[in-house]
């Protein structure tokens, strides 16, 4: 049985002569047991009609971003979520550029920007457009965002030119989608495991209205929790104050201070894997006043600080119930690797994910991250700059490998 059986595929049809092949793709996907819902760009409608897509898919085809009936009934955000994967075929140079740049002027591009599902694109365009540096740049960006690509093939095209640009045949696109989904959720490599993740900043109160904090958004930690849940793990996410939604299928414990985070982490043990991605405040005000500190003639109050518990080091040193795999992060602004190497020894963890959080790197609060993986044995691996979601998926795959039972 195909992995596509019972899967819901959102098929975005772009405007190109290859759009006629997408009608065949609908049929092929349905033959393998998938249900297909189509979104057509305006360009696509010059080549195929929404009625043809609807007839072949057995579901209404969507075309407009601001369609009253649609918004009342399904809406673009729901379209972006109510599926298991998104396929873009044909992916024109225009769609690829919009996806790479995050532009969303129509329904298809809005759905692509709003979705967190696995995406497969099947590019199709004139050979010169494909080879243009702008399209190649889009391609590189899309790949680094974790988008899977099939094709284009080489051959004679509509304009009687020969070269890369032909859309891959529907059956091969369906094969590529099977491979993508098999890689993502086929094996559920963390099924039966409990993974504990810390994420976000901590807030350390000075008085009832003020606190010390840092710029952590929680994006990387939350993405790891989401990726681990998608890999089949039972996930407990202990999070400081963030504005992110709870990742699906994850138990979220909300805390404010470092001491509360430590208590919540201890309460969540035992765990098979613990990932400490939170940016815990190293210090907290030594005294907490119950009333708001008022301005006075004596000038600013002295702010004495005291050290917070090191949650990672505390857990890594536990004897009875130390998680078998303890992973720390190292947030550095200079000498990233040297500092991270020192940290792995000092904290007693098994693996450190080191990243440059200097203001120029844009990592704190941003969507992308360049990380180095440092092992206890001193091994070093540098990953390319990736979206935080892609870093999370890759890290989770690595953790699954490291804890796999033969």
Q: Which residues are part of a known binding site for CTP?
A: 282, 292, 309-312, 329, 343, 347
Q: Is 310 in the site for ligand CTP (CB under 6 A)?
A: yes
Distance CA 34, CA 166 (A): 25
- Which residues neighbour 401 within 8 Å (Cβ) at sequence distance 6 or greater? 189
14 contacts 89 by C-beta, under 8 angstroms: yes
**Site map (CB under 6 A) of ligand CTP, residues 129-168, x = contact:** ----------------------------------------
Among 125, 328, 363, 373, binds ligand CTP (CB under 6 A): 328
Phi and psi of 9, rounded to 5°?
-110, 130
Does the active-site annotation cover 308?
no
The 351-356 sheet, strands edge to edge: 251-254, 234-239, 194-199, 273-276, 325-332, 351-356, 371-375, 380-382
To ligand CTP, the closest distance from the beta carbon of 197 in angstroms equals 10
Distance CA 33, CA 11 (A): 15
174 contacts 28 by C-beta, under 8 angstroms: yes
Annotated binding site: 282, 292, 309-312, 329, 343, 347
To ligand CTP, the closest distance from the beta carbon of 215 in angstroms equals 12
Distance CA 385, CA 101 (A): 16
**Site map (CB under 6 A) of ligand CTP, residues 256-285, x = contact:** --x-----------------x-x-x-x---
To ligand CTP, the closest distance from the beta carbon of 327 in angstroms equals 8
Cis, bond preceding 90 (omega within 30 deg of 0): yes
- Give Cα 222 to chain centroid, integer Å: 9
Distance CA 273, CA 236 (A): 11
The active-site residue out of 214, 308, 355, 369 is 214
**Site map (CB under 6 A) of ligand CTP, residues 166-205, x = contact:** --------------------------------x-------
Alpha helices in 278-387 (DSSP H): 311-316, 336-347
Q: For residues 128 and 346, which CB has a smaller minimum distance to ligand CTP in the complex?
A: 346
**Site map (CB under 6 A) of ligand CTP, residues 106-125, x = contact:** --------------------
Q: Which range of residues in 78-86, 224-232, 309-317, 398-406 is near ligand CTP by CB under 6 A? A: 309-317
* Total chain residues near ligand CTP (CB under 6 A): 16
Among 224, 225, 233, 312, binds ligand CTP (CB under 6 A): 312
SS3 197: strand
| Binding residues vs ligand CTP (CB under 6 A) | 198, 258, 276, 278, 280, 282, 308, 310-312, 328-331, 343, 347
Q: Which residues are catalytic?
A: 214
């Amino acid at each position: 049985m195909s992995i596509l059986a019972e899967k819901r595929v959102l098929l975005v049809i772009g405007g190109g002569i290859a759009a006629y092949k997408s009608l065949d793709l609908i049929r092929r996907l349905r033959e393998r047991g998938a249900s297909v819902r189509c979104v057509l760009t305006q360009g696509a409608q010059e080549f195929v009609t929404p009625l043809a897509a609807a007839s072949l898919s057995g579901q209404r085809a969507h075309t407009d971003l601001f369609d009253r009936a649609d918004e009342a009934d399904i809406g673009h955000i729901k379209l972006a979520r109510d599926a298991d994967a998104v396929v873009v075929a044909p992916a024109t140079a225009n769609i690829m550029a919009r996806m790479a740049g995050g532009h969303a002027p129509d329904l298809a591009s809005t759905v692509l920007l709003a979705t967190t599902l696995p995406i497969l694109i099947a590019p199709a365009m004139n050979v010169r457009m494909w080879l243009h540096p702008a399209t190649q740049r889009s391609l590189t960006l899309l790949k680094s965002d974790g988008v899977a690509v099939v094709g284009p093939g080489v051959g004679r095209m509509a304009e009687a030119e020969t070269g890369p640009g032909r859309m891959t045949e529907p059956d091969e696109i369906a094969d590529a989608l099977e491979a993508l989904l098999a890689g993502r959720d086929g094996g559920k490599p963390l099924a039966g495991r409990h993974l504990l993740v810390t994420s976000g900043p901590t807030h350390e109160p000075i008085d009832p209205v003020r606190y010390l904090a840092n710029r952590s958004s929680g994006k990387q930690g939350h993405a790891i929790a989401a990726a681990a849940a998608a890999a089949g793990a039972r996930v407990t996410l202990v999070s400081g104050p963030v504005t992110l939604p709870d990742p699906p299928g994850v138990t979220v414990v909300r805390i404010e201070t470092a001491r509360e985070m430590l208590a919540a982490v201890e309460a969540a043990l035992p765990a098979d894997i613990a990932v400490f991605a939170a940016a815990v405040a190293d210090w907290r005000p030594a005294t907490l006043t119950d009333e708001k500190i008022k301005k006075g003639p004596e000038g600013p109050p002295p702010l004495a600080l005291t050290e917070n518990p090191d949650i990672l080091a505390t857990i890594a040193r536990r004897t009875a119930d130390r998680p078998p795999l303890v992973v720390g992060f190292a947030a550095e602004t200079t000498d990233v690797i040297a500092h991270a190497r020192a940290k792995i020894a000092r904290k007693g963890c098994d693996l450190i994910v080191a990243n440059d959080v200097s203001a120029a790197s844009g990592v704190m609060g941003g969507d992308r991250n360049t990380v180095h993986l440092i092992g206890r044995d001193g091994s070093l691996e540098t990953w390319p700059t990736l979206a935080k979601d892609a870093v999370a998926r890759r890290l989770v795959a690595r953790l699954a490998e490291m804890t796999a039972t033969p």
